[in-house]
Chain A
Amino acid sequence: MRYAMAVDTKKCVGCSDCVVACQTENNVPVGFCRDWVVEVTDGTYPQLEIEIRSERCNHCDNSPCVRCCPTGASHYAEGGVVLVTPDECIGCGACIASCPYDARYPHPDGYVDKCTFCLHNRVEKGLNPACVSVCPTKCMYFGDLDDPHSPVSKVLKTRKFKTLIPEAGTRPQLYFLI
């Protein structure tokens, strides 16, 4: 099993509903966020191109955060989802420094926090992650890459896509449809 997510940059309007849904669902402390929206503007006026991406932890196959964690708090859970066990985390910040996507942050309680793909609170109950299910343009797809019938497998078969900074060698599992 390999959980992955695809975000359609042609459909995303950057409304930030995914950010608020995540904060509510996961009780994210005020002032922090586990997902965010990036707007890329390219070109010179009036020839401008815009790309909007809803970003979060890439749940990399070759995660530098898991590699450099000195206690094993950062680990691969079911379906390759990268999680942090708060009771094992010492808050040293090595994983934060090691993430090329800056997807992690220190929780006010001390441990390091990040996107979980809503694994325990939603996905294990057969639901989509909060950000995916709340998206008003339905621009996000989630599922198991090993299952050819999952929404994410199907959309990656028919659409062109990219990942962020593949040259960092992390094998990210957050795909952007272009």
Chain B
Amino acid sequence: MKEELIVSGRMNHLIDPQLHIWHWHIPLYLFLGGLAAGILFFAALYTILGKEKEYPTAVKIAPFLTPVLLIVGLLALFLDLNHKLYFWRLYTTIRLQSPMSWGAWTLMVVTPLSIIWCALNIKTLFPQWDWKYKWLYDLDAFFRKYMKTISWTMLISSLILGVYTGILFSAFNARPLWNTSILGPLFLTSGLSTGAAAIILLSKNHNERLSMARIDLMLIGIELFLIIHMFMGFLASTQVHIDAASLFLGGPYTTPFWLFVVTLGLAVPALLEFLEIRGFKMPVFLAPALVIFGGLIFRFVIAYAGQASRWLY
């Protein structure tokens, strides 16, 4: 039997006995970022496709959530920093190899875009809205002229936002559980799925709800496929990856993952949405609420379990 022990009494705060450098802030932000990315993606997509009439909630109402989601997410990120007053250092450099640098700059594009998008659609929520000043009307007209550019920028930046949250983790080869490139597409799919679920929750239009439920069902299918793929990859890889997978296959994260994420967050809502599409009467809020809940728990489970997976000792 081989036993490795630190005998000099190392007990560095947040590192020992097990890495816990990231608390609730990071998974919460990843969830909010993914959700905002999903909502903005569908808003931009249906604008580009010219389907604003068929998808009024996706294009004109759900995006009102996104500035709030993003700002709360950014606040969580800020609270997570240990050297808070130096946060502006993120914006004095661009580091292409660092996913976190990509994320900081993407947020710098997506957050203002989401606010502009809401401003352009403000009359949907407040029909009597008056900008009061002429320059605000001019600004409104200016942005409207470039609607196509704004939609495309939002489509692409929301995809980057969705996928980077996963790449952020997969770039750390020190944590075998995170070190799989499937996390990028997986987090993107999960983000799009929670975005679609939020649109279903807000929508009062039956046809829009059904279409979004169809899309969500497809996304859940992709997510389940990617999760199975992730485990196949781990189990066919090195010992540290097998150990990482075993955190979910009998280890301490088995119940939260398989019960809350896979069963309640994916399988049950998939079944509910399937039955709804088939014409059964289903409680409208249940499936999307479960999807959103599952997405949140998924980020927490991956963030915490990843910090428990390691190479040494």
Contacts and interface: CB of A to CB of B under 8 A. Distances in A.
A159 B12 CA distance: 33
A38 B86 contact: no
Interface stretch (A98-106, A115-123, A135-143): A98-106
B299 to A, nearest CB: 15
Interface residues of B, number: 49
A36 B173 CA distance: 23
Contacts, number: 161
Interface string B79-93: 011111011011011
Given A19-B8, A165-B311, A97 B80 contact: no
A71 B11 contact: no
Interface stretch (A3-11, A86-94, A149-157): A86-94
A69 B90 contact: no
B132 interface: no
Query: Could you say which of B86, B93, B101, B307 has the most chain A C-beta atoms within 10 Å of its C-beta?
Result: B86
Contacts of A94: 98, 100, 172
A68 B99 contact: yes
Given A38-B6, A40-B2, A100-B173, A90 B13 contact: no
Nearest to A112: B82
Interface of B: 1-16, 19, 21-22, 80-84, 86-87, 89-90, 92-93, 95, 97-101, 103-104, 171-175, 238, 307, 310-313
24 contacts: A31-B11, A33-B8, A36-B6, A38-B7, A41-B2, A41-B3, A42-B2, A43-B1, A44-B1, A67-B97, A68-B99, A70-B95, A70-B100, A71-B95, A87-B86, A89-B86, A90-B90, A94-B100, A97-B21, A98-B171, A99-B174, A101-B312, A106-B14, A110-B86
